[in-house]
């Protein structure tokens, strides 16, 4: 399938903002998602954005979509140690029957 | 509202055996999808069921199969287990299979 790329690792200090980036190649992507996975757990849906939107904000989370550059980012404001986890970017499109196509995940480490 | 429930949480099986995993979706959701998560391949789509019909299938061998019941509960079966089938198997439920997908905690399968 088409590629979804993420950087593998990000380290931030508690209280700072975190920005996790994702690029995708399929221009027909319909929805783009951010999921969080803590050790030994399943995937928690954080937020998603429809492809005709540029931005979505939900409390501490801000999603930015640059459709021209096929770039998606997740900003976490006032990052806490409890935010340490793996964050997955995923996209779906009608051509794949809306199956989620995931990136490899970005491991976020928040240090005190 | 109860989330997605997967049973069992952990399984150990021997090569050549078969295994059945179960997933109960969120009440009212008619779409159930299955994903395999491994360190090497990441998250990969197995198949999706909607109203008891398989609508979409990923690139996995025929040893992997599934079904969905009239109450939307789903099972996936893996026959003739191989060592490489060791993975976290995640189930996701969605109202229509097109938008928000909520994941269960997963079943950790170890093949020895």
pLDDT on residue B25: 97
> Nearest Cβ partner of B102 from A31, A45, A104?
A45
A18-71 pLDDT per residue, tens: 999 999 988 888 899 999 999 989 999 999 999 899 999 999 999 999 999 999
Of B55, B58, B90, the CB nearest to A42: B90
Predicted confidence at residue A98, as pLDDT, reads 83
* B55 Cα distance to chain centroid: 14
Q: Model confidence over B73-107: pLDDT tens digits?
A: 999 999 999 999 999 999 999 998 888 899 999 99
Does residue A97 register a pLDDT over 90?
A: no
- For chain B, the 3-state helix, strand and coil shares in percent, each to the nearest 5, are 5, 55, 45
- Is A103 buried (19+), middle (13-18) or exposed (0-12) by CB count in 10 A? buried
Tell me the C-alpha distance between A81 and A84, whole Å. 6
Sign of CA dihedral B5, B9, B14, B15: positive
Provide residues of B within 8 Å CB-CB of chain A.
4, 6, 33, 35, 42-43, 45, 48, 55-56, 58, 90, 92, 97-106
Residue A95 has a pLDDT of: 79
Say what the pLDDT of residue A2 is.
65
- Nearest Cα residue in chain A from B99: A31
The answer to whether the Cβ–Cβ distance between A48 and B100 falls below 8 Å is yes
Percent of chain B topping pLDDT 70:
99
Q: Report how far apart, in Å, the C-alpha atoms of B21 and of each of A24, A37, B11, B76, B104 are.
A: 32, 21, 9, 5, 12
Least-confidence region, from A72-86, A90-104, B59-73: A90-104
Q: Mean pLDDT of all residues in chain A?
A: 94
* Closest residue of chain B to A47, computed from CA coordinates: B100
Reduce the DSSP state of residue B41 to 3 states and report it.
Answer: coil
Instruction: Compute the mean pLDDT over every residue in chain B, rounded to the nearest whole number.
Output: 96
Q: Which of A1, A35, A42, A88 to mutate to test the interface with B (most CBs of B within 10 A)?
A: A42
Beta-carbon separation of A99 and B56 below 8 A: yes
């Amino acid at each position: 399938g088409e590629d979804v790329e993420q950087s593998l690792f990000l380290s931030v200090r508690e209280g700072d903002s975190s920005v996790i980036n994702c690029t995708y190649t399929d221009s027909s992507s319909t929805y783009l998602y951010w999921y969080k996975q803590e050790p030994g757990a399943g995937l928690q849906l954080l937020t998603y954005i429809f492809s005709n939107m540029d931005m979505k904000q939900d409390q501490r989370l801000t999603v930015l979509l640059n459709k021209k550059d096929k770039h998606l980012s997740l900003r976490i404001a006032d990052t806490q140690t409890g935010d340490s986890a793996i964050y997955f970017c995923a996209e779906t499109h009608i051509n794949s029957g809306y199956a989620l196509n995931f990136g490899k995940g970005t491991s976020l480490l928040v240090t005190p | 509202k109860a989330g997605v429930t997967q049973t069992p949480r952990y399984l150990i099986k021997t090569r050549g055996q078969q295994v059945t995993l179960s997933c109960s979706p969120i009440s009212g959701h008619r779409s159930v999808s299955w994903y395999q998560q491994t360190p090497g391949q990441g998250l990969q789509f197995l198949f999706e069921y909607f109203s008891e019909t398989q609508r979409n299938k990923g690139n996995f061998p025929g040893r992997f199969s599934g079904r969905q019941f009239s109450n939307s509960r789903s099972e996936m079966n893996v026959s003739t287990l191989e060592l490489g089938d060791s993975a976290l198997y995640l189930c996701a439920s969605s109202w229509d299979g097109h938008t928000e997908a909520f994941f269960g905690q997963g079943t950790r399968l170890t093949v020895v």
